[in-house]
Structure 1
Amino acid sequence: MARYFFDTYDGSRLISDAEGIELESLDMARIEAQKALPDLARDALPDGDHKSFIVSVRDDAGQVVLRAALTLIVETAPDNRSA
């Protein structure tokens, strides 16, 4: 088993994972990163119309081995009503 560290970025702040978790493979780390993204988006709703959330996965050596991102875009439909 290998230890992976999950650093998160919500568009305004970076939270570095100092503890990490042991997982069987990089594929398992990918699944964990993908599962974390919706929670990140829910916890840090955008104050504008666009926000990106990123999870970077590092190995024991500190090398980024995987990066997963989720972009949330809010668009307002144009008003088609006549004045």
Structure 2
Amino acid sequence: MARYYFDVHDGAQLVRDEDGSEFENDDAAVQAAARSATEIGQGRVAKGDFREVVIEVRKARSRNICTVTASMKIEWRSKS
């Protein structure tokens, strides 16, 4: 098992994961990051916040392996 870190970009600031979590491989870590981004996004939408959620997945405290982005786009056609 390897340790992975999920750093969350919250608007203008970065919330760095100092503890990390263990996963069997990169794919398992990325799937967990995607689930986390979805959960954070759902919480934001419930509060009327539609900003995208960006999670940088790091391995071994320094090497970024991917970025997971969850976003919602609302396009009004016309408002009555």
TM-score per shorter chain, which class? 0.7 to 0.9
Residues 46-68 of structure 1 deviation map (CA, whole Å, 9 limit, x = unaligned): 54xx6221111111141111111
Q: CA-atom RMSD, angstroms?
A: 1.9
d(CA) in 2 for partners of 1:23, 1:14: 23
d(CA) in 1 for partners of 2:13, 2:42: 15
Secondary structure at the counterpart of residue 32 of structure 2 = helix
Residues 7-57 of structure 1 deviation map (CA, whole Å, 9 limit, x = unaligned): 11233432110000111100101110110111111222354xx62211111
Tell me if structure 1 keeps the 8 A contact 2:4–2:60. Answer: yes
Tell me if structure 1 keeps the 8 A contact 2:5–2:61. Answer: no
d(CA) in 1 for partners of 2:44, 2:13: 10
| TM-score, length-scaled by structure 2 | 0.81
Higher helix proportion? 2
Q: Which runs of 5+ in 2 are unaligned?
A: none
Report runs of 4+ in structure 1 exceeding 3 Å deviation.
none
Q: Which residue of 2 aligns with 1:58?
A: 58
State which structure, 1 or 2, has the greater radius of gyration over its C-alpha atoms.
Answer: 1
| TM-score, length-scaled by structure 1 | 0.78
Q: Which runs of 5+ in 1 are unaligned?
A: none
% identical aligned pairs:
26
Secondary structure at the counterpart of residue 28 of structure 1 = helix
The worse-fitting range, judged by mean Cα deviation, of 63-72 and 5-14 is 5-14
